[in-house]
A = this chain, B = another copy of it.
Amino acid sequence: MRKIDVCLSPDLIQLYDLCNMAVVVVDIFRATSCMVTAFAHGAQEIVPVEQLEICESFRLKGYLTSAERNGITPEGFDFDNSPFSYQSEKVKGAKICVTTTNGTVAIQRSKAAPRVYVGAFLNISKIVEALKSWDGDALIVCAGWKGKPNLEDTLFAGAVIDRLHGEFQVADDAALMAWKVYNLASSDLLTSVKNSSHVNRLLGLGIEKDISFCLEMDKYAVLPSLVNEALILA
C-alpha cells in the first residue's frame, strides 16, 4: 500500500526523500489558506519567494506583491496575509509574488518533489483527490512557526490522513500522532486551536475572523500546484 508521512517542520525536511513523493505544503494560518483563496478568486499565478527584496523586485515584472513577517505586513506591498485580502476584484487574472515567515520557506524546501501542492482546509477535498490519483507515496510538509511544529498544520495533516485511510498507510510516528491529534479535535477545530500558543499569538494581531475562515472545510475546489518556480492551478 502507498504510504503517507508528515514532516512536522520545514527544518526536518532533509530527513525525507522527496524524489518520488507527492508533497502537500500547508500553512493554515495563513499563507496556504491565502493562496487557495487567491486562486479561487481568479489569480493566474503565485510565485512564492523567501526574501522580501526578491518579492519587491517582482513588481517590475508586472506582479502584484504580498508580504508577511511575524504576522504583520511590511509597508509597500499590495496584499497582506489575510485570506480576505484575496477576495477582491484585483486578484482576478493577477500574477502575485508572495513571501511569508513560514509558508513560502516550506514550499521552497519541497521543490525536489515531482509534485508539490498547496493545501489548506479550504481545499482539502481537492488535495485528497490529488493524492488518491498519485501513484506513489505522499508527504505533508507543515510550515510550522519559525521551525517549530504547530497545532493547526498538524491538524490539517491528520485530516488528510484520516480521509485517505484505507488507501494510504501511515508511514511513521509523526503521521500517526497527527492523525491522533486530529481525531481528538475534529468535532470542533476552532475550540481546539484556541488553546494553541501560535493561535494565541495570532489572536494578538486581531485576526479572529481569519482564524475561523481558515478552518472552513472545502470552501474552494482549487488545486494549486508548483510548476518550476510558480504555483498555478493543476
- Residues on A lying within 8 angstroms of B by beta carbon are 8-9, 11-12, 15, 145-151, 154, 170-174, 176-177, 180-181, 184, 195-198
Contact = CB atoms under 8 A, between A and B. Distances in A.
Contact of A149 (B173, B181, B196): B173
A95 B184 CA distance: 46
Given A154-B177, A173-B196, A176-B197, A12 B184 contact: no
Contacts of A171: 197
Contacts of A15: 11, 146-148
B173 A148 contact: yes
Contacts of A177: 149, 151, 154, 177, 181
A109 to B, nearest CB: 14
A172 to B, nearest CB: 5
Contact of A173 (B12, B170, B184, B197): B197
A176 B152 CA distance: 12
A137 to B, nearest CB: 14
Contacts of A8: 8, 149
Nearest to A16: B148
A181 B146 CA distance: 23
Given A8-B8, A15-B11, A184-B184, A174 B149 contact: yes
A173 B149 CA distance: 7
